[in-house]
Amino acid sequence: MDGSNCKVIAPLLTQRYRRMVTKDGHSTLQMDGAQRGLVYLRDAWGILMDMRWRWMMLVFSASFVVHWLVFAVLWYVLAEMNGDLELDHDAPPENHTICVKYITSFTAAFSFSLETQLTIGYGTMFPSGDCPSAIALLAIQMLLGLMLEAFITAMQEGTGEICQRRTSYLPSEIMLHHCFASLLTRGSKGEYQIKMENFDKTVPELPNPLVSKSPNRTDLDIRINGQSMDNFQISETGLTE
């Protein structure tokens, strides 16, 4: 899409606040409606993507610590409900099945939770195959742990989501004589706001008759992935030797 013919309605750069990014690196852009308290928290992913690296490191570390603590509590509760805390795990009663060996305190439960998430095998502490509750809790911790790792990894620009998707356009997605709707508006206090509802909206534009009738244009048949497209008129200037 060539947006040269689109009318850019942007008196934004001629009014009081001309900078979109201040000299100290702060952005003056605001999401439309983001100033309304809890509504801003609905875009948790956007908050994390825009977070400074020092806070990102804090979130990265705290998320794993909280995950280990939560499941340490669950493993401790399981041992308490199963009556494993007061038993001698080296010589348990014959009619009793210990869910996790050697979980006799919260410290041991936290160590087991940490070992479950970060290692590929167990040492002296391991879940019993005869305790369905331990197997179910183990599966839940592993699944949630993998989801957490994937979520944290995706927040890093080099390995996850970036500002613009790197993909190709399908023939059905190419719209001639259209341009994207404007996203920037001005708030009542002069700050810039982004209207995300216009993110995927397009508006039609009329082709410039002076350009379309130029003698330096030729018809070419464009094929994308073997699929024939409509004839495009493109300028020969700069395309031929």
User: Can you list the domains of the chain with their CATH numbers?
Assistant: 3-31+164-208 (no CATH), 53-154 (1.10.287.70)
Mean pLDDT confidence for 21-26 = 75
The two tokens of residue 15 are 């009014």
CB 29 within 8 A of CB 190: no
Confirm whether pTM is higher than 0.85: no
Comparing 114-128, 189-203, 226-240, the range with the smallest average pLDDT is 226-240
Instruction: Tell which residue, 38, 36, 102, 44, has the closest CA to residue 75.
Output: 102
- pLDDT score of 96 more than 50: yes
**Distance of alpha carbon 208 from alpha carbon 80, whole angstroms:** 78
CB 186 within 8 A of CB 193: yes
Most confident of 18-27, 95-104, 116-125: 95-104
pLDDT-derived band at 46 (thresholds 50, 70, 90) equals low
Q: What is the pLDDT of residue 229?
A: 47
Which of residues 209 and 21 earns the better pLDDT score?
21
Instruction: Tell which residue, 201, 209, 175, 174, has the closest CA to residue 5.
Output: 209
Q: What is the pLDDT of residue 141?
A: 93
